Structure 1
Amino acid sequence: MSKNNQIKWNTTGESLVKFYKTDLTGKVAIVTGSNSGIGLETARVLASVGAKVIIPCKTFEKAEGAIEVIKKSVPNADLVPMKLDLSNISSISEFVSCFYQLDLPLHLLVNNAGIMGCPKSLTEDGFETQFGVNHLGHFYLTRSLHGKLKAGASAGARVVCVSSAANYHFLGKEGLDFDNLNSEKSYSPSVAYGQAKFANILFAKELQRQFDAEGVDIIVTSLHPGAVVSNLGRHLDLSGTLDSFRHTRGFIALVKEVANYKNVKAGASTSIYCCISPDVKKGEFYADNAINRTFLNEQADNKEMAKQLWDLSEKLVAKALNPLMNLN
């Protein structure tokens, strides 16, 4: 059976690793947000084919709980519980330090954790929560693991950034609004989510360009997992739902997207695809286990916008690490 006949929009991650006869023995993966939803399923599938998977959660209790769940179906899974709070720059620094102390290589970094549609709030470092967790937390985590990733390049290292169709649905053709990235002017749960998820895409593309410029053979991708039934939507009340409909580009397109929902096993498949498929292309955006342009904002290939975001992110993280720093 050909790839096109076997790999479809609702193919599960388990089916993908069987199709590709994947063996990740000796490989090390970090999957953020691996205590629930598609992160948990991504970690489970990677572990099922031999990967040592780091399970980073806000608490060790949550990490241990995820490990207990995974081992019910993968008894021999090699899993390492660790503490990581992506809303706290200091916590990310501590996680990276602890990871380096393990003296392990790194081959797969899956930036999966996220928060969606929450009421307006700020992280401990003063960032709007969705921008702070979904983008800045992963930006700093990935940058801090840069050396490990480069060392794993010869063994096929990859960075996978879980984004969302929200980057298209809730943003206009102009892309990021740099004057409202931290919701300085106004706050819409859906628009803030769209900005953060578009930032994931711009970051992935700029990271790929930088690796390419250095001659480092690492694949970086971003993706839309689909409308997945998980606890990601736990903040969506009536007000949040109405906000989504009010700010979407097209009501019908959004309804169709939500109606064509996936279970968690299928929702994790595009993440797994980007981790293991030999057909994955550097710097591309994926959905339904294939390159996708339908759910991609018009500014996705805007190099200047991506570089501006990168430089700003560097400054914001540096300010969080050193509050006395002057950003000007």
Structure 2
Amino acid sequence: MTRGTTARWTPADIPDLSGRIALVTGGNRGLGLETAATLASRGAEVVIACRNASAATEALSVLKARAPMAQVAAMDLDLTRLSSVRDFTRAFTARHGRLDILVNNAGVFGINQGLTEDGFELHFGTNHLGHFAMTLGLMESLARSPAPRIVAVTSMMARQGKIDFDNLDRRKGKYSKWQAYSDSKLANVLFAGELQRRMDRAGIPGTAVLAHPGYAATNSPFGGSSMTPTPLEVMLLVIGSAFSQSPAMGAQPTLMGATWPDAKPGMVFGPGRMGGMRGSPVADGQRIPTDTETAAKLWAISEELTGARFPA
């Protein structure tokens, strides 16, 4: 991703979000909690979606302490279960109707081989298919917003990703949790690009962008991630933690992507220093780098696997 030329951006640049409804998946900890807290502090009505009820309760306490006047709520969502995704989208639509800001933040990171309830490889099923089905289930709510914004939180590791359509469940060959994670983050990139094209064709004035946190503290097992590290990985992560930035800084690219008035469809937001590893966020003026043929094929297969459809 090439570095942008925008002036230094900080959360103080976020406009008043009063009257806006925002949804942050995985908003109960780490980058998601920082994102939700800042959006709430700027006046947005914020819903955090997570699968751990006790963690959600704790997160709401944090949000209310940091933004006492804000409207905040938690809803149950387990991205590893399509039945939970469907229940969530129905409940959200019934409760809110409109959605202005969607932050697809939740995900699993570097976990050992396993399957979701529906039989998908855990990284691909959670990070991509769960968000794919949820976003399509919320499209009518997004379409009711005058200018909906969708932020897909990806990773620099998407650069190493490859979509192997003959091995999406990764049952063939030796399993690599890092390759599986990278592939799922590339799927986020492809999904965002294809979503934008379909919104454009449908006349929905939505803006789909990408954000990545660089190397933030929550990218390690010490920051509450879902990673299950080997001893060697623990050692490397301890060394790497010296170069990491705080969750608050890691959330800034997402916040910029979600609220920057000058954001254009397909922009990529990430830290501006150390090759995108840390620093204040910048915007890449180029569109999402995507293979449209691969993106369309991934979309079709994702529809088949999840049963989700872009609404007519």
TM-score normalised by structure 1 residue count: 0.81
Q: Secondary structure at the match of 2:120?
A: coil
Deviations 1:294-327 (A, max 9, x none): 9x8xxx42100000000000001129xxxxxxxx
Amino acid at match of 2:212: H
Does the Cα contact within 8 Å between 1:24 and 1:50 map onto a contact in 2?
yes
Tell me how many residue pairs correspond in the alignment. 288
Unaligned runs of 5+ in 1: 8-14, 246-253, 320-328
Q: What CA distance in whole angstroms lies between the structure 1 residues aligned with 2:53 and 2:93? A: 18
2:216 aligns with one of 228, 231, 235: 228
After superposition, residues 44-59 of structure 1 pair within 5 angstroms as: 44-59=37-52
Q: 1:37 Cα deviation (Å)?
A: 0.3
CA gap of 1:255–1:199, structure 2 versus 1, over 3 A, is farther
Unaligned runs of 5+ in 2: 272-280
Q: Which residue of 2 aligns with 1:134?
A: 127
Q: What CA distance in whole angstroms lies between the structure 2 residues aligned with 1:220 and 1:232? A: 28
Does the Cα contact within 8 Å between 1:117 and 1:240 map onto a contact in 2?
no
Alignment pair present for 1:83 and 2:85:
no
2:13 aligns with one of 9, 16, 19: 19
Q: What CA distance in whole angstroms lies between the structure 2 residues aligned with 1:199 and 1:192? A: 11
Q: 1:184 Cα deviation (Å)?
A: 2.2
Q: Which residue of 2 aligns with 1:197?
A: 185
Q: What CA distance in whole angstroms lies between the structure 2 residues aligned with 1:304 and 1:239? A: 40
Q: What CA distance in whole angstroms lies between the structure 1 residues aligned with 2:211 and 2:240? A: 15
After superposition, residues 183-222 of structure 1 pair within 5 angstroms as: 183-186=170-173, 187-222=175-210
Q: Secondary structure at the match of 1:77?
A: coil
Higher mean C-alpha displacement, 215-224 vs 305-314: 215-224
Q: What CA distance in whole angstroms lies between the structure 1 residues aligned with 2:304 and 2:224? A: 29
Q: Which residue of 1 aligns with 2:245?
A: 262
Does the Cα contact within 8 Å between 1:224 and 1:286 map onto a contact in 2?
yes
1:238 aligns with one of 220, 227, 230: 230
Q: Secondary structure at the match of 1:98?
A: helix
Does the Cα contact within 8 Å between 1:82 and 1:95 map onto a contact in 2?
yes
CA gap of 1:199–1:259, structure 2 versus 1, over 3 A, is farther
Q: Give me the CA root mean square deviation.
A: 2.5
Does the Cα contact within 8 Å between 1:116 and 1:232 map onto a contact in 2?
no
Q: What CA distance in whole angstroms lies between the structure 2 residues aligned with 1:239 and 1:312? A: 37
Does the Cα contact within 8 Å between 2:48 and 2:73 map onto a contact in 1?
yes
After superposition, residues 1-328 of structure 1 pair within 5 angstroms as: 4-7=6-9, 15-16=10-11, 18-20=12-14, 22-152=15-145, 154=146, 156-168=147-159, 170-171=160-161, 175-186=162-173, 187-230=175-218, 231=223, 233-238=225-230, 241=233, 260-288=243-271, 289-292=281-284, 300-318=289-307
Deviations 1:149-195 (A, max 9, x none): 1111x2x2100000001111x33xxx322122211213100000000
Q: What CA distance in whole angstroms lies between the structure 2 residues aligned with 1:282 and 1:166? A: 22
Identity percentage of aligned residues: 37
Higher mean C-alpha displacement, 51-60 vs 226-235: 226-235
Q: What CA distance in whole angstroms lies between the structure 1 residues aligned with 2:158 and 2:128? A: 12
